[in-house]
Amino acid sequence: MTIFLECEVKMITSIFNDLDLANKRVLLRADLNVPIRNSQIMDDYRLRNLLPTINLIHQKGGKIVLITHIGRPKQPNPELSTKQLIPWFKKNGYQIVFSPTLEDAHKKINEGYPLVLLENIRFFPGEKGKDKQLAQSLAALADYYVNDAFATMHRDDASITVVPQYFPPENRTIGLLAERELTHLNRLLHHPTHPFALIIGGGKVQDKLPLLFNLLDKIDMLFLCPAIVFTFLKAMGETVGKSLVNNAALDLCKEIMNAAKTNNVKIFFPIDFQIALDSFDGPLSYVPANEIPDNGVGISIGPQTVDLFANEFKNAKTILYNGLMGDIGREQTLTGACGIFRAMTITKAHTIIAGGDSVAAAHFCTVIDKIEWCSTGGGATIDYLTGQSLPGLLALE
């Protein structure tokens, strides 16, 4: 598979399927940053999606040193230890051992263990500092390097960008999960099936605007949802109560609306909202879009908007959803998102949900297996769709 980087005339080719891994050691960088509560994995979606890569390496006769991070620890923390992943792998039939140190991992992989899980890579001080000594020590564990952690490819960390330098080009590549992520994203960027509908929400307005600018010449319909929609509404002179607004982005929103008109992109706004009173945690209710009270905080879309948007989806051939509306920690606020997800599943369109919180919500709404692709890429997905190069991909060239 060829991977295009829009911002540069560069590409890399996946050679994973062609590797001869018989009796070879593979350093597999994964993203198993899963939610864990009381040592129990709350959502194993990332784990399940990594299994095809692990299985293929084993089928080829390779042994694996598996490295990942969990959370953002500033120092070792038992609650973020990767040791908590061991029971899940054993339950699913994998012979796996845990290594708390690089020395222990080196010993176990050379003793022939088929799958060695290293402690949280962010427990090692050099990971965030791009430490060459750490990178050399990691590289010494294996004959091949496979990066299947697409969600971290926008990071410039030791295990992402420095370790690959210690492997020859023919011994480093992406894994099956990263390949699938890029296949779907490249389809959106280079040859989407039209009409192409983009549904965008979430509160990080400044992160979403470059994405909108980059996709405006590719999409046909734009559905604006909370919380980003409130900045657009304020830019239009509408009242939005105490809803989240990025005042610094008002002019950019106006530019996007003008560019959408130039590109014949039809913009759809909600006709009703789910709001809370006084604060995000306040009591919930539904109001027409033009009747948000002064103390109202927009949370999600209302049922009339779900019906309106769902009717428009019937004409779409590609649908991309990015940016969660509502709060994954407050189930009552996910009704609108669930309605949109379910509407996506009954279309004949190529459907993609992108973003960690959005995918978690799709799991809550029990539609995750009915969406064609659920990308957990998060910031990496946004950067790629915005046209930025990903350091983790560049390091594999």
Question: Which region among 53-57, 204-208, 293-297 has the lowest average model confidence (pLDDT)?
Answer: 204-208
Residues of the chain with CATH 3.40.50.1260: 2-179+390-394, 188-366
Partners of 116 in the β-ladder: 65, 97
| Residue 159 DSSP symbol | I
Share of the chain above pLDDT 90, in %: 88
Under the banding of pLDDT at 50, 70 and 90, the label for residue 43 is confident
Domain range 2-179+390-394, CATH class: alpha beta
Beta strands in the chain (DSSP E): 2-5, 10-13, 25-29, 36-37, 40-41, 63-67, 97-99, 115-118, 144-147, 172-174, 196-202, 221-227, 266-268, 272-277, 284-288, 296-301, 318-322, 350-354, 373-375
> What per-residue confidence (pLDDT) applies to 13?
58
Mean pLDDT of 155-167: 97
The CA distance from 199 to 351, in Å, is: 11
Amino acid at 318: T
Kindly report the pTM of this predicted structure.
Answer: 0.90
> What per-residue confidence (pLDDT) applies to 3?
40
CATH for the stretch 188-366: 3.40.50.1260
> Quick one: CA dihedral 98, 100, 106, 107, positive or negative?
negative
pLDDT in tens, 265-315: 999 999 999 999 999 999 999 999 999 999 999 999 999 999 999 999 999
Mean pLDDT of 348-371: 92
pLDDT in tens, 68-112: 999 999 999 999 999 999 999 999 999 999 999 999 999 999 999
